[in-house]
Amino acid sequence: MKIVILDALTFGETSLKAFDQFGEVDIYETTAPEELFYRVANADVIVTNKVVISEKDMGNAPSLKLICVAATGMNNIDMDAAVEREIVVKNVAGYSTDSVIQHTFSMLFYLMGHSRYYDEYVKEGDWHSSGLFTHVGAPFFELKGKKWGIIGLGSIGEGVAKIATAFGAEVSYYSTSGKNSNADYTRIELKELLLHSDIVSIHAPLNDATKNLLNYSNLARLRKGTILLNLGRGGIVEEKALARTMNKKELYAGLDVLASEPISDPHPLMEIKHPERLYITPHIAWTSVEARERLIAGVIKNIHNFVKEQEAIFTMTPIVMT
C-alpha cells in the first residue's frame, strides 16, 4: 500500500516508523490545499489530522481505499462522498481524554492562582526589593466549596467532574443534547448554571445546538470573578462577545480552542483591557506525549483492521472460471 501522511507536524516528535510495515510511506509536515492534488494522487491510504479531504480530493485519488483521521472529530472529511465512493473512514476516539482533563486544571490553577502575576513579581526583582518573606498582592481562593458548572458531561466532562469533586467543589452540569443524565451530579439548565457557577468549563462538541452557545446574552449572566474555560470547540464561545463582556466586568477566561485556528491578527481578545485575565493556549490540550503516542497507535490499529477486513473479503470472494 501507499500511505500518505498529510500533516505530520501536528504529531510532534512522535515516531511514525510503524507505518513502514504497510508499504511505501510519504510524510509531509504540512499540506496546503493546492498541494493536496499531487500528494494524494496515488495514495491507497490517507492519514490526516486537520487537512480537509473533499469530494474533489477523493476523485483525484483513484486508488484511495481508506482515510485515517488522526483525531476524534471527522468534520474535515466529506463523509457523503466517502460513502458514495466506498472509501472507508476511520477515526481514533478516547486517546486524549486524560490529557484534556489535565490541561483543564492547568488552565484553572494558572488563572485562579494568578500564576503570571506572581512569576513576574519574582523575576522582575520586586520580591527581592520588598524586604518581605511573602507577598499577597493578588489574592486567590481555594477550589474547595466553589460551584463548578460543566457544559457537556461526556467522558472528558465527567473526568473533570470527578477531580473537581475530589477538591471539594460542588459540581453541576448542562447537557447540550438534552439526553445526558448522570445521577452523580446535578443536571441544571444553562441559565442557572451560568448565573450561579464560580467556574464554568466547556467540554462539548461543536454542532447546531452548541454553536455560539455562549453569546453576549449568555455571557452577561456570568458573575463577577467567574472563571470560564473552553476545552471543547472554539465556535461554542462567541469571541467578540467574550471580549466585550470581559471589558465590562471582571471575568477570567482560559481558552485552548478558538473559532478559527491559528488565531487571527488582529483579534478582539488580543485587545481586552486586562490581558492578565485571559489565558490562551494553541490547541494543545490533546497533545501530551502519551496522548500522541496513543493516537498514532490507534491509527496503526485502524490500518491493521482494514487490511484484515480486506483480506477476509478477498478470500471469501468466489473466483469464477470462464
Q: Give the active site residues.
A: 233, 261, 283
Is residue 14 classed exposed, middle or buried when 0-12, 13-18 and 19+ CB atoms within 10 A define those classes?
middle
Whole-Å CA distances, 169 to 60, 158, 185, 194: 54, 14, 11, 16
Name the DSSP letter for residue 154.
S
Q: Determine the Cα–Cα distance for residues 260 and 277; give it in Å rounded to an integer.
A: 21
Residue for cell digits 488552565? Answer: 107
Other Cβ atoms closer than 10 A to 117: 13
Is residue 22 classed exposed, middle or buried when 0-12, 13-18 and 19+ CB atoms within 10 A define those classes?
middle
Q: Determine the Cα–Cα distance for residues 27 and 234; give it in Å rounded to an integer.
A: 29
Q: Residue 224 in contact with residue 197, Cβ under 8 Å? A: no
Q: Determine the Cα–Cα distance for residues 269 and 240; give it in Å rounded to an integer.
A: 7
Residue type at 68?
Answer: C
For CA atoms 224, 226, 227, 229, the dihedral sign is negative
Q: Who's near 192: CB < 8 A, 6+ residues apart?
A: none
Whole-Å CA distances, 164 to 181, 184, 200, 230: 18, 13, 12, 16
Among 148, 225, 201, 198, CA closest to 214? 201
